[in-house]
Structure 1
């Protein structure tokens, strides 16, 4: 009886709190995030508006770099190393994937890694870069998009971008060593809590459909891992070993076993899932060492 009364009290307390939360207005952008948005622009993919950054960088270099961000964030993930990258590359480009950041977030939409890869290809075409070599630097969710882009490049698919090199970082490259967070599992599996959580986490989860990339990784494992295993371009991994999503040593041991041709940079022991934010100088130096090695 006491347990039943306890649950009733929790319910009476929770319902008004949720009701209040759902009506909280969108917070103002921080000054740095406002500047980030103001310095970017949009292009249209089908009927969706996609946000991107495109900075002209180093004089005397013709190298182009495309950055692919992780889940559930945006291109802003790269802001701490942006200046350092523009000092090395002629052009640095980053986008917010559909459903993320400042890009459109259609709710009733079947999000897929394949579509996100097509959006990257469309952006390169929009910028007139579809026939020029580009270097890809990716993180987390972006790793999987990069794997699909690599597959299309190696298979000479129509509309593919020309990849000069690929650097991955802390992504669920192997479904068998990927351990999504509890909240991700709830949203992905469509539990009874899913609609409530989706609304409460409105800034991150605009549709539980976004989480289907976890299932897509399993379904298309051979395609995407195979693309890395047979890659003809320079391949590198920058890894934060304290990552709870792709834990050490399980992840790294499988990576070096299946992809022996790839080079690897392991950052300090305290660096976790977002190495470009946790250790921007270490991350930047690791990437520049890789890009300058060929």
Structure 2
């Protein structure tokens, strides 16, 4: 009887604690992140609001660059190279894909690369991670109309595997995810000496938590399965496309491991040029080495 009462007491205590935990509000935006959001705009796509940044840069230049960012963060990933890009292009545009950052995050919803690509238009593209696959779909459409790139070399993290294939377990994991778990999943894809500060991690987490974005992560991760299914559609155009392509690579990247990824890339895209950054740079080169990344991109843009 005493044991039974003990379990009842634990249950009565645990339930309100769990309810309180599941209703922890998202963190407040830092001044920098708040400024990024307040200076941005929204457009509506099929009844859903998509957040974007659009800065006017060089007067008289006809060129536009659109930045497509990676999983699981937001357009704010580009903030370290934003000013540098405005010195070269007339317009610099970055958007939060559906389900990311400050854009709408409907649930339940079938998130797909095809829908994300339909939001974009034809311009200079600078992409990263998840944005690479969207760019590949745009290349496919370009050819038809006149995070990794290759699924076989992509190395998703353990948490990504659990969330994308967890079935009924995935919604539980997304609800239990918190800021103290988040860095453990993200920092391993940064270089040892270039990992984000705690304040930068909070900015990333705030973008994810905005509009309960943590609850759609498992749905967004279906892009990994989509990439395997549509490999021919998305890798094929890369091998035969005639427009200039440049790849900026952090050789410490565990998601696209060296040297097998780079060997396959050069074999598949022999006409593409490649910039290899310093040995300690990993999966987020635009954040880990913004100057090196910007110099590599400008060297490519100015070469034709």
TM-score normalised by length of structure 2? 0.82
The answer as to 2:283 corresponding to 1:273 is yes
**Bigger mean CA deviation after superposition, 143-152 or 205-214:** 205-214
Alignment-derived partner of residue 126 in structure 1 = none
Post-superposition offset of 1:282: 0.5
TM-fit CA distance, 1:23: 1.8
Which structure has more relative contact order (CA 8 Å, sep 6+)? It is 2
Deviation at residue 117 of structure 1 after TM alignment: 0.3
Give the secondary structure class of the aligned counterpart of 2:238.
helix
Match of 2:252 in 1: 242
Query: Does the 8 Å contact 2:66/2:123 carry over to 1?
Result: yes
Q: Note the alpha carbon deviations across 1:180-234, whole angstroms, 9 max, x for none.
A: 0111101100344311111233725332221110001001101111111111100
Query: 1:228 and 2:204 equivalent?
Result: no
Given that 1:239 and 1:267 are in contact with CA atoms closer than 8 Å, whether structure 2 keeps it comes out as yes
> Once the two structures are superposed, what CA deviation does each residue of 1:148-198 show, in whole Å capped at 9, x if it has no partner?
0011011117xxxxxxxxxxxxx2110000010111101100344311111
After superposition, the C-alpha distances for 1:103-150 in whole angstroms (9 at most, x for unaligned) are: 0000110000000000113xxxxxxxxxxx621000000000000001
- Distance in 2, Cα, partners of 1:287 & 1:179: 25
* Cα distance change on mapping 1:78 and 1:287 into 2, 3 Å: same
Work out the CA distance in 1 between the residues paired with 2:126 and 2:288. Answer: 17
Is the 8 Å Cα contact of residues 72 and 205 (structure 1) preserved in structure 2? no
Shift of residue 21 of structure 1?
A: 2.2
In structure 2, the gaps of 5 or more residues are 1-6, 178-207
Which of residues 122, 131, 139 is equivalent to 1:150?
Answer: 139
RMSD: 1.9
Per-residue deviation, 1:55: 0.6
Structure 2 vs 1, CA of residues 293 and 45 (structure 1 numbering), >3 Å: closer, same or farther?
same
Alignment-derived partner of residue 134 in structure 1 = 123
Cα offsets for 1:70-90 (capped at 9, x unmatched): 001111000000000000001
* Kept after mapping to 1: 8 A contact 2:139/2:238: yes
Q: Kindly report which structure 2 residues correspond to 1:29-178, keeping only aligned pairs within 5 A, or say none.
A: 29-121=29-121, 134-156=123-145, 171-178=147-154
Q: Which structure's residues are more often helix, by fraction?
A: 2
State the Cα distance separating 1:254 from its structure 2 match.
Answer: 0.6
8 Å Cα contact 1:99-1:206 kept in structure 2: no
Displacement, 1:60?
A: 2.9
Secondary structure at the counterpart of residue 156 of structure 2: coil
**Aligned positions, number:** 261
Q: Which residue of 2 aligns with 1:213?
A: 223
Q: Is the 8 A contact 1:242 1:248 kept in 2?
A: yes
Judging by fraction of residues, say which structure has more strand.
Answer: 1
- Specify the SS of the correspondent of 2:274: strand
Q: CA deviation at 1:16?
A: 6.8
1:39-97 per-residue CA deviation (whole Å, 9 max, x = no partner) reads 10100001100000111101231111000000011110000000000000011011000
**1:15 & 1:248 partners in 2: Cα distance?**
47
Counterpart Cα distance in 1 of 2:110 and 2:273: 35
Match of residue 264 from structure 1? 274
User: Residue 290 of structure 1 aligns to a residue in which SS?
Assistant: helix
Cα pair 1:63 1:90 within 8 Å, conserved: yes
After TM superposition, give the deviation of residue 14 of structure 1 in Å. 8.2
